[in-house]
Amino acid sequence: MYQEDLKLFSQATLGSFANLIPFLIGVLLVGSLNSNLFSGSRYMYAAARQGHLPTCFSCVNTETDSPRVAILAQSALAIAISFVGDLDALIGYVMFGFWAQRVFTLVALLIIRHNRIPVHPEAVRVPLWCIYAFLAITVALVVIPIFQEFSVTALAIGICLIGFVMYFVFVHPNVLPTWMYILNERTTFVCSVVFDCLPDLKPGVGSAFLPTSDSSQALLPKRCSSARLSEEDSLPDLHSDEKNVLRRNGSSTGFKLFVPTSLVDLITDVQ
pLDDT greater at residue 143 or residue 17: 143
CA dist 223 and 227 (Å) reads 6
pLDDT of residue 246 exceeding 50: no
Report the SS3 class of residue 228. strand
The type of residue at 193 is V
Evaluate whether 220 touches 199 at the Cβ level (below 8 Å): yes
As a whole number, the mean pLDDT across the chain is 73
Sign, Cα dihedral of 63, 66, 68, 72: negative
pLDDT by residue (tens digit) across 170-207? 888 888 888 888 998 999 999 999 988 888 877 655 44
* pLDDT at residue 129, rounded to an integer: 93
CA distances to 18, 231, 240 from 236, in Å: 48, 13, 9
pLDDT by residue (tens digit) across 164-177? 888 888 888 888 88
Q: Beta-carbon neighbour count of residue 217 at 10 Å? A: 15
Sign, Cα dihedral of 132, 138, 144, 146: negative
Mean pLDDT of 3-27: 75
Specify the range with the lowest mean pLDDT, choosing from 85-89, 115-119, 242-246.
242-246
* pLDDT at residue 205, rounded to an integer: 56
* pLDDT at residue 131, rounded to an integer: 92
Pairing assessment for the beta strands 227-229 and 198-199 based on DSSP bridges: unpaired
How deeply is 188 buried, as exposed, middle or buried, from its count of CB atoms within 10 A (0-12, 13-18, 19+)? buried
Q: Beta-carbon neighbour count of residue 68 at 10 Å? A: 18
